[in-house]
Chains A and B, each alone.
Chain A
Amino acid sequence: MSWHLKLLIGLLVAIGLGIFLVRWLGLGFPILPDRDTQLWQIEINAEAEGAGDPARIQLFVPPADGRFAPVEEQFAGSGLRMALQDSESGNRAAIWSTSEAPDRIGLRYRGLYILRLDVIASEAALAPPDMLSEPIDPPADQDRILAARGLLRDIVPSAAGPATMSRLLLERLGDDRSDRSPYGLLRAESSDADVIETAAFVLSLDGVDARAVRGFLLAENNRSAVAISWLEVWDGDVWLSFDPQGDMIDPRDRLVWYRGAESPLRVLGAEESALSVTLIAQQISGTQALQARSGVQREGFLSAFSLLRLPVETQAIVRLLLIIPIGGLLLVVLRQVVGLSTIGTFMPVLIALAFEMTGAVYGVLFFSMLIGFGLLVRFYLAQFHLLFVPRLAAMLIVVIFLMIGVLLFADRIGIGLGAAVSLFPIVVLTMTIERVAVVWEQMGARDALLQAGGSLLVAVIIHLMLEWGTLTHLVFTFPELMLVIAAGVLALGRYSGYRLTELWRFRDLIAKERKAQS
């Protein structure tokens, strides 16, 4: 190896590792992916029709509660004044107002929240009732109170505490939602929200601290999230949560919107017309989490260069780009040092990237199917002695037909892999079939299958490495490690040692040596 190459390799390693160490130890960029933090984006859109009066609109927005906290918020409301108000009950409301009489009001709230999975219970779930103001009950008429007391008399004897009582009460209320129910008077409607509010009302008559909660299930990519209600009951230590069916639930997979029996949107001087909520899980990296948790946006060259500043969609592309060099390095190792033979130089890397979409099992299955069928057609076409380029074009068409076939098949048996399969690089597949066929014709089936199998094996190994979250996190958070990878590739470029497979190939020479020694 020349000194020039050594110098280049040394420089690449020094610069790459240097920047990496500064950013890791100096700036505190995390080396491991943060699995304890999730990032959620909530968007609430409200619309109202002006009624010719000055308007005032109150919209609840999710509060911070120690587990869940907003990191970025945007309030947009067509020229209206906005004020944020924290209520005593722990709710947070955005209040838009105008002295003019608007025709049409469109309001939008967009908040980016971090969810810390490592926090077991939120502050609100631990705060004793006297810290919060009593829930404001709707003014109750006498009949309703009587009906409630009747219900309590049925339940209280068999209830040992607030938890049992809540469960029994919710079961009773949910059991029979017909108007003929003796407790029908308790409710105007029979929605889950009403059941919960009624339960909170009944329990408060018995001196049990209970409150209704509205919020959302944290399911990934809830394009149009539906608000759900549940009940919180104080058992002396902690607030317990019950769903409208009376089952105790773990509220940790839910986002609290607000507590109380109010409407999420209150409009004065205009007609409420529409309210929609979306809830989207965001890709988050350890560094974003760190920034979000510490609330510090790091400045300076080394962090300004961070890929985390890119929009989320672009980040996904960069993530993919950054793992390709790792695949390249792995390929170099598997071919030069291990000595596996593959079809086409970088084809295994491309196949591994296609596996990202399908997963290894379906990927190998579909790949083998496509190559297998393709080879059959290719051998059939061989008798016509077609010229090279027309034959390739014919195979391209065959591959596309096969892919459509696989798509239909996948759809038929109900595997949602449509989009994933189409990501198999069509041209790569065509060339692969051609190469396998040529190897088959020239060197026999054994070599052909060996090379095709080798390519698949290499693709699967590369795929598994790329699936390893820590590795992809590392190259994404520390893109300077690319320089180290480049140095590794360069170093292996002058590797003149034996390949592992040569230990097998030259085994008789080794055996001879052994005999000579003994």
Chain B
Amino acid sequence: MTAPLLALGQLSGEGVLGINGRNVTYVSVMNDPRKMRIVDDKVETKRIAERAGVPAPKQLGVIEINARVRRLAELIGERKSFVVKPARGSQGNGILVIGDRINGRWRTTSGKPISDEALYGHISNILSGMYSLSGLSDVALIEEIVTFSDTFSKVAPSGVPDIRLIIYRGVPAMAMVRLPTAESDGKANLHRGGVGIGVDIATGVTCGGVHHDRCVATHPDTGLDLAGIEIPDWEEMLMMGARCYPEVELGYLGVDLVIDKTRGPLLLELNGRPGLAVQLANAAGLKARLDAIDGVAEELRAPAERVAWAKAAFAATQQS
């Protein structure tokens, strides 16, 4: 009986945030449900990004009703690659990334062939709400594909790597890179087998990672070191995250970014309920950092001030 109690004490001593703590202390207090609904909608997120002056992948169009499914061709024009997303999807579910068209069939970036019929069926499923959070009907978002920069291509050769920032009251609190694995089918979601890598807020250099809730040092597919990768435009990324905050007014906010080869960092989506695995990736408790931010949040006004404070406060000094 004492072992679990001891473990509880250690978790709390480390400042680890649990699901209940996140929901009760942060999400339910800092995040207005109406505003969470807005960020749950990727079409709305695009508008927020525009208002905040944060670049995002170009939106080709929105399919709202089943009768319009076949007008996909008009929206994509001559493109052979594009992304289909449910506007209200969660955790990357229902996202289809088409990379090419070969012999009259589409092909996903992971190489899976898809007939026109199956693609339309997928969009119909999105519209019927199969992937939406509430199960209510949804709309499908057609987006330009992101050409990923090769920052992570050596460690994780395929799929969609992204960068998750935890922005608390406008201040970057913690960050991680999410890399796909063979197991996660090109997606970077950690619960599907993706790898999370902690990032030093001060420098944008990666440290150790997490895979299936275990701390790891190397990528499970390539065996390459996860630590020591320098993320380009790190300062700009932190600024993007900090700039989103005044537009969405969510105190506890997850900002997901990708790096495009030509356009640089782009805002992929916002999340009003970001997960807690980031703590394992950084081998640090989130609660401790959120408490620190609570102490200064009132004084930090401009996004630049917040970013500067965070870089100083959360520098990974103890990392060797």
Interface size of B by CB at 8 A reads 41
**What residues of chain A lie closer than 8 Å to B124, measured between beta carbons?**
385, 387
A379 within 8 A of B: no
**What residues of chain B lie closer than 8 Å to A497, measured between beta carbons?**
8, 18, 20-21
Binding stretch for chain B, among A189-197, A312-320, A503-511: A503-511
Write the nearest CB–CB distance from B79 to chain A, whole angstroms. 23
Question: Once the chains are docked, how many angstroms separate the CA of A503 from the CA of B14?
Answer: 13
Q: Are A385 and B12 in contact (CB under 8 A)?
A: no
Interface of chain A: mostly helix, strand, loop or mixed? helix
Known: A498-B20, A499-B18. A447 touches B128 (CB 8 A): no
Q: Are A503 and B8 in contact (CB under 8 A)?
A: yes
Interface 1/0s, chain B 32-73, versus A by CB < 8 A? 000000000000000000000000000000000010000000
A430 within 8 A of B: no
Q: Are A513 and B10 in contact (CB under 8 A)?
A: yes
Q: Are B130 and A385 in contact (CB under 8 A)?
A: no
Write the nearest CB–CB distance from B113 to chain A, whole angstroms. 15
A388 within 8 A of B: yes
B122 within 8 A of A: yes
**What residues of chain B lie closer than 8 Å to A336, measured between beta carbons?**
20
A294 within 8 A of B: no
**What residues of chain B lie closer than 8 Å to A514, measured between beta carbons?**
10
Q: Are A503 and B4 in contact (CB under 8 A)?
A: yes
Known: A506-B280, A509-B14. A387 touches B128 (CB 8 A): yes
B97-149, CB < 8 A from A: 117-118, 120-122, 124-125, 128-131
Known: A443-B192, A496-B21, A503-B4. A388 touches B283 (CB 8 A): no
Q: Are A388 and B118 in contact (CB under 8 A)?
A: no
**What residues of chain B lie closer than 8 Å to A509, measured between beta carbons?**
10-11, 14, 16, 279-280, 283, 285
Question: Which residue of chain B has its CB nearest to the CB of A502?
Answer: B18
A405 within 8 A of B: no
Question: Which residue of chain B has its CB nearest to the CB of A516?
Answer: B14
**What residues of chain A lie closer than 8 Å to B130, measured between beta carbons?**
388, 438
Q: Are A506 and B279 in contact (CB under 8 A)?
A: yes
**What residues of chain A lie closer than 8 Å to B94, measured between beta carbons?**
442
Interface 1/0s, chain B 191-219, versus A by CB < 8 A? 11000000000000000001001110000
Question: Once the chains are docked, how many angstroms separate the CA of A495 from the CA of B25?
Answer: 9
Which of B23, B118, B210, B280 has a CB less than 8 Å from the CB of A385? Answer: B118
**What residues of chain B lie closer than 8 Å to A388, measured between beta carbons?**
125, 128-130
Q: Are A513 and B24 in contact (CB under 8 A)?
A: no
Q: Are A385 and B121 in contact (CB under 8 A)?
A: yes
Q: Are A506 and B11 in contact (CB under 8 A)?
A: yes
Which of B21, B118, B125 has a CB less than 8 Å from the CB of A498? Answer: B21
**What residues of chain A lie closer than 8 Å to B214, measured between beta carbons?**
508
**What residues of chain A lie closer than 8 Å to B4, measured between beta carbons?**
500, 503
B93 within 8 A of A: yes
B1 within 8 A of A: no
**What residues of chain A lie closer than 8 Å to B191, measured between beta carbons?**
443, 447
A296 within 8 A of B: no
A372 within 8 A of B: no
Interface-centre pick from B11, B117, B283 (highest chain A CB count, 10 A): B11
**What residues of chain A lie closer than 8 Å to B129, measured between beta carbons?**
388
Question: Once the chains are docked, how many angstroms separate the CA of A514 from the CA of B283?
Answer: 13
Question: Which residue of chain A has its CB nearest to the CB of B189?
Answer: A443
Which of B14, B20, B24 has a CB less than 8 Å from the CB of A499? Answer: B20
Write the nearest CB–CB distance from B220 to chain A, whole angstroms. 15
Interface 1/0s, chain A 364-404, versus B by CB < 8 A? 00000000000000000000010111000000000000000
Q: Are A339 and B19 in contact (CB under 8 A)?
A: yes
Write the nearest CB–CB distance from A206 to chain B, whole angstroms. 72
Question: Which residue of chain A has its CB nearest to the CB of B117?
Answer: A385
Write the nearest CB–CB distance from B315 to chain A, whole angstroms. 19
Q: Are A503 and B11 in contact (CB under 8 A)?
A: yes
A313-367, CB < 8 A from B: 336, 339
Write the nearest CB–CB distance from B138 to chain A, whole angstroms. 10
B13 within 8 A of A: yes
A6 within 8 A of B: no
Question: Once the chains are docked, how many angstroms separate the CA of A503 from the CA of B16?
Answer: 11
**What residues of chain B lie closer than 8 Å to A506, measured between beta carbons?**
11, 16, 213, 279-280
Q: Are A496 and B117 in contact (CB under 8 A)?
A: no
**What residues of chain A lie closer than 8 Å to B21, measured between beta carbons?**
496-498
Question: Which residue of chain A has its CB nearest to the CB of B66?
Answer: A387
**What residues of chain A lie closer than 8 Å to B192, measured between beta carbons?**
443-444
Q: Are A494 and B24 in contact (CB under 8 A)?
A: yes
**What residues of chain B lie closer than 8 Å to A496, measured between beta carbons?**
18, 20-21, 23-25
A412 within 8 A of B: no
Write the nearest CB–CB distance from B209 to chain A, whole angstroms. 11
Question: Which residue of chain A has its CB nearest to the CB of B21?
Answer: A496
A512 within 8 A of B: yes
**What residues of chain B lie closer than 8 Å to A512, measured between beta carbons?**
14, 215, 283
Question: Once the chains are docked, how many angstroms separate the CA of A388 from the CA of B135?
Answer: 10
Question: Once the chains are docked, how many angstroms separate the CA of A509 from the CA of B213?
Answer: 10
Interface 1/0s, chain A 459-498, versus B by CB < 8 A? 0000000000000000000000000000000000011111
Q: Which 4 interchain pairs have the tightest Cβ spacing?
A: A385-B121, A388-B128, A496-B24, A498-B18
| A and B contact pairs by CB, cutoff 8 A, 15 listed | A339-B19, A385-B118, A443-B192, A447-B191, A496-B23, A497-B18, A498-B21, A502-B11, A503-B7, A507-B213, A508-B213, A509-B280, A509-B283, A509-B285, A512-B14
Further pairs besides A385-B124, A438-B130, A512-B283: 11, Cβ < 8 Å:
A385-B117, A385-B120, A387-B125, A388-B128, A388-B129, A495-B24, A497-B20, A498-B18, A502-B19, A506-B16, A507-B213
